[in-house]
Amino acid sequence: MTSKAPDSTPPDNLMPLQSAIPKINTVTARDIAASLKAGISDFLARPVMSGFFGLFYAAFGILFVWSLVWLNQIWVIIPAILGFPLVAPFAAAGLYEMSRRLQKGESFGWVEILTVVADQRKREMGWMAFVTLFIFWVWIYQVRLWLAIILKDTSFSGFGGFLDIVFFTPEGWIFLAVGTCAGAILSAALFTVTAISMPMLLDREINFVSAMLTSIRVVTQNPVVMLSWAAIISVVMLVSMVPVFLGLIFTLPILGHSTWHLYQRAVAPPEA
């Protein structure tokens, strides 16, 4: 059997993935407040770079909605807007890396951060992106399913007509009730598997299944606090999208940075 030189280090993409079960800490409301405070501090430390990621996400949202209007897929607009926050954790990889470096006092520029974001496609976060986008696709499809079952052959003359049918008819109310319940289940499921796994995958060499299981453990062991955090994220993101998505330029970075710090508090560091 051959031995390896003591000072040799395998490339990043060949590093063995950790399989040890991370220790979970108890998360309290104070941890949420402290994480938000740290997130705001990180944003103010590098506002232009942080805002860039928020601007990119907002621009994508505007383009997405415009495409739906252009394709005359009016019925997709509302579920797409409501489901848009579901993919936010994947969009925040650069923000996690910024917070990680700020926490360690490391200097960094655009090249370092964008390189780390680009490198995630070679790591386990790519699988998490697949999980996230798949659940988002299911989110959109279930809306189409309820439209076909409840509203049947109803035609929409435009976005205003769609809103009139949904909000001012008994069938529309049933559609909203059923869609809200189904959407809540999907949102809770996605939040449970991504709340901690996204920053964890950037921080450690761990497989995405272990990261998801760790995230599930954090949420199930701290259900009230973590679901409160999910509610904060949902409300802030939805309110931020009201002014043509532009509020996301500020709120997405702050929530992304805050998520990193919450992850640091929820999961114990790996043993040396």
Query: pLDDT digit of tens for each residue in the chain (272 aa)?
Result: 444 444 444 344 444 455 567 899 999 999 999 999 999 999 999 999 999 999 988 898 888 888 887 877 777 777 777 777 777 776 788 999 999 999 999 989 999 998 888 887 777 877 887 888 888 888 888 888 888 888 876 666 666 777 788 888 888 889 888 888 888 888 889 899 999 998 999 898 888 899 999 999 999 999 999 999 999 998 998 899 887 888 999 999 999 999 999 999 999 987 65
Pull the structure tokens for residue 134.
Answer: 């798949």
CB atoms within 10 A of CB 243: 11
Residue 138: domain span: 25-266
Q: Is residue 1 part of a domain?
A: no
Which residues are within 8 A (CB) of 189 and not within 5 positions of it... i.e. 6 or more apart?
Answer: 135
Give Rg (Cα) of the chain: 20
Q: Are 213 and 194 in contact (CB under 8 A)?
A: no
Q: Is residue 9 part of a domain?
A: no
Q: Is residue 3 part of a domain?
A: no
CB atoms within 10 A of CB 192: 21
pTM here?
0.83
Q: Is residue 7 part of a domain?
A: no
Produce one character per residue of 203-228: b if its CB has 16 or more CB atoms within 10 Å, e if not: bbebebebbbebbbbbbeebeebbee
Count up the domains in the chain and report the number. 1
Question: Number of H helices and number of E strands within the chain?
Answer: 13, 0
Q: Is residue 223 part of a domain?
A: yes
Q: Is residue 247 part of a domain?
A: yes
Q: Is residue 271 part of a domain?
A: no
Q: Is residue 2 part of a domain?
A: no
Half-sphere exposure of 69 (CA within 13 A, CB side): 10
Half-sphere exposure of 81 (CA within 13 A, CB side): 18
